[in-house]
Amino acid sequence: MRYGSAFLCALIAIVTSGLSPQVVGQAGTASHKQGQQADYGTATASEGSTVLSDLDQAINEISRRVLPAVVQIEVSGYGPREHGGASQVIEKQRAIGSGVIVDSDGYIMTNHHVVEGAQRIRVVLSPATLELVPFKSSFLVRQRTYEARLLGVERQGDLALIKIEEKGLPYIPLKEDFAVRLGQIVLAVGSPEGLTHSVTRGIVSAVGRQPDPDRAMVYIQTDAPINPGNSGGALVDREGNLVGINTFIFTEGGGSEGLGFAIPEPAVRFVYHELKEHGHVRKTVIGANPQTITPTLAAALKLQQDWGVIISDVTPGGPADKAGLKPKDIVVAMDTRTIDSLPKFAASLYLHDRSQPVQMDVLRGADSVKLYIPALEAHAGIDSLADLINPQTGLISSLGVFVVDLNKQVVEMLPDLRSQSGVIVAGRVGYEPPVDADLNVGDVIRSFNGRNLNSVAGLRHELEASKPGDPVVLEVERQGVMQFVAFEME
């Protein structure tokens, strides 16, 4: 493709053009040197101008095709206060992020953290100005704003799928033939600080960065400037193909310091299809916890290798336990795929056909063992009580708490609960409530003045029927212990 080759040629010319005049100037007579330098300088200026023009055109062409498919996302809702500790304080929040249209029918991929706690999601589409010409460029911004539906999230991968009701939209396709190389040029597109259609350029600094060795996620690292608001935006290559979804940065001062990270396109593509078809990412579980082998871990446990994946825990009575998998087993292969890292272990489980057992080859001491482990689909659960909060129905303002019904889903999430009915405190407000009821997140409110509670509506009814000065006693299960919480209504 013309613009792709121009991009590479421009870089080669820029790197090498500063050296050639010095080499030429060291040979021949004084008069001959001057002639050579003059001719060479003229040729270099002309060629350099052409190369830089091609570079500009390449970036312009990529931007022209990509910008319409990268949107601004405005989110309002309730979420845990940042740095609030244990995510117990829930407060009204507004956020701005970015998203990538991946299907012309209005399907948009973004980060989970962009839409976390959202009660309302709006997508803003606006034209991009690609050229500034006095009295000719138009700065008329005719934005189109759409209400969006959240179709599903993948918290671990920090991805989410939203949809707007529109067709024929520009989009960036998710392609099967993905490839990314160290050092290749990339563009980051998004809405940093709410500034729509911002484009920055950089290179791929690392193709498989794994910041946490005990988490399977790998990222594409780039030095393209990425700032708050770029989250959920596109990282594209010189051909306009999606390289990944920008997700986070390492920074001391809060701004870009050249350490940006994007979720690779294959992960985005996989999660997109799962969320579109099922509303959640179906996960295969076997009842075992894998961990990255480090040299220190290998030396302490006297392992035969200081790399790869070791099983640190096996759930008693689970599929892996029944199949014979044991802690300290080193995983060599799964379904005939060689396993040399935690990301490969996780990918093998994702791709496994759940109708068949997982074939696992492990190294146990000096022995090689082959196991066949039944594969189960993990329940589509929730990660925190805050995810269950509906601020419109769950806020009890007089007590300063958010509550949800203690239903089957919550009971399964908290298997150690003794209570099977009531309402559970899922969050606290960030202000001082009228009544100091001394309630904590996780408390189950079982009764109100001796009358059993079965729903949030029941608790609200009891509170509304009470007058200022009335004594109230709540029976509460707190960390497995039943106790009374007493206070007076205000």
Q: Which residues, listed in sequence order, are joined to residue 185 by a DSSP beta bridge?
A: 203
Q: For residues 383 and 9, give the distance between their C-alpha atoms in angstroms, rounded to a whole number.
A: 49
For residue 490, what pLDDT is reported?
85
Q: Compute CA 292 distance to the chain's CA centroid, rounded to the nearest angstrom.
A: 22
The dihedral through the CA atoms of 354, 343, 314, 368 has a sign that is: positive
For residue 5, what pLDDT is reported?
39
Overall size of the chain counted in residues: 490
pLDDT in tens, 368-410: 999 999 998 876 556 667 777 777 788 898 998 999 999 887 8
For residue 213, what pLDDT is reported?
78
Among 21-35, 273-287, 339-353, 440-454, the minimum mean pLDDT is found in 21-35
For residue 392, what pLDDT is reported?
73
CATH top-level class of 284-377: mainly beta
Among 187-201, 263-277, 357-371, 411-425, the minimum mean pLDDT is found in 411-425
Alpha-carbon distances, residue 159 vs 162, 216, 286, 304, 350 (angstroms): 10, 15, 24, 37, 16
Q: Which amino acid is at 192?
A: P
pLDDT in tens, 97-110: 999 999 999 999 99
pTM above 0.85, yes or no: no
Judge whether 426 and 386 are in contact, CB under 8 Å: yes
Say how many C-beta atoms besides its own lie within 10 A of residue 109's C-beta. Answer: 26
Say how many C-beta atoms besides its own lie within 10 A of residue 252's C-beta. Answer: 7
Which two structure tokens, joined as six digits, stand for 327?
Answer: 């802690």
Tell me the average pLDDT across 124-142. Answer: 82
Nearest to 24 by CA among 11, 12, 41, 9: 41
Cα angle 386-389-395, degrees, rounded to a multiple of 5:
120
Q: For residues 122 and 243, give the distance between their C-alpha atoms in angstroms, rounded to a whole number.
A: 25
Q: For residues 450 and 472, give the distance between their C-alpha atoms in angstroms, rounded to a whole number.
A: 10
User: In terms of CATH architecture, what is 70-277?
Assistant: Beta Barrel (2.40)
CA dihedral (430, 431, 435, 438) in degrees, to 10, reads 40
For residue 300, what pLDDT is reported?
94
Q: What percent of the chain has pLDDT over 70?
A: 87
Q: For residues 267 and 246, give the distance between their C-alpha atoms in angstroms, rounded to a whole number.
A: 13
Confidence of residue 127 (pLDDT cuts 50, 70, 90): confident
Residue 185 has pLDDT above 50, yes or no: yes
In order, the DSSP letters of 98-157 are: EEEEEETTTEEEE-HHHHTTEEEEEEEE--------TTTS------EEEEEEEEEEETTT
For residue 81, what pLDDT is reported?
67
Residue 13 has pLDDT above 70, yes or no: no
Q: Compute CA 372 distance to the chain's CA centroid, rounded to the nearest angstrom.
A: 33
Confidence of residue 284 (pLDDT cuts 50, 70, 90): confident
Cite the active site residues: 113, 158, 231
Tell me the average pLDDT across 459-463. Answer: 94
pLDDT in tens, 305-331: 999 999 999 999 999 999 999 999 999
Residue 153 has pLDDT above 50, yes or no: yes
Determine the angle formed by the axes of helices 30-66 and 2-16, rounding to 10 degrees.
Answer: 140
Among 36-40, 47-51, 161-165, 461-465, the minimum mean pLDDT is found in 36-40
Q: For residues 348 and 274, give the distance between their C-alpha atoms in angstroms, rounded to a whole number.
A: 16
Q: For residues 77 and 122, give the distance between their C-alpha atoms in angstroms, rounded to a whole number.
A: 12
Residue 152 has pLDDT above 80, yes or no: yes
Q: What percent of the chain has pLDDT over 90?
A: 53
CA dihedral (344, 259, 81, 88) in degrees, to 10, reads 30
DSSP state of 420: S
Residue 137 has pLDDT above 70, yes or no: yes
DSSP strands (E only) in 328-443:
330-334, 337-338, 358-364, 367-373, 376-377, 395-396, 401-405, 423-428
For residue 369, what pLDDT is reported?
96
Residue ranges per domain, the chain?
2-66, 70-277, 284-377, 385-488
Nearest to 244 by CA among 202, 291, 292: 202
Tell me whether the CATH fold assigned to 284-377 matches the one assigned to 385-488. yes
Q: For residues 400 and 398, give the distance between their C-alpha atoms in angstroms, rounded to a whole number.
A: 6
Residue 416 has pLDDT above 60, yes or no: yes
Judge whether 275 and 108 are in contact, CB under 8 Å: no
Q: Which residues, listed in sequence order, are joined to residue 92 by a DSSP beta bridge?
A: 78
Residue 292 has pLDDT above 90, yes or no: yes
Q: Give Cβ neighbours of residue 160 (< 8 Å, ≥ 6 apart).
A: 109, 110, 111, 112, 114, 115, 150, 152, 153, 154, 275
SS3 301: helix
Q: Which residues, listed in sequence order, are joined to residue 95 by a DSSP beta bridge?
A: 75
For residue 130, what pLDDT is reported?
80
Instruction: Decide if domain 385-488 falls under CATH 2.30.42.10.
Output: yes
For residue 6, what pLDDT is reported?
38
Q: 79 or 162: which carries more pLDDT confidence?
A: 162
Tell me the average pLDDT across 208-217. Answer: 83
For residue 306, what pLDDT is reported?
94
Per-chain mean pLDDT for the chain: 84
pLDDT in tens, 44-68: 666 667 877 887 888 888 899 999 9
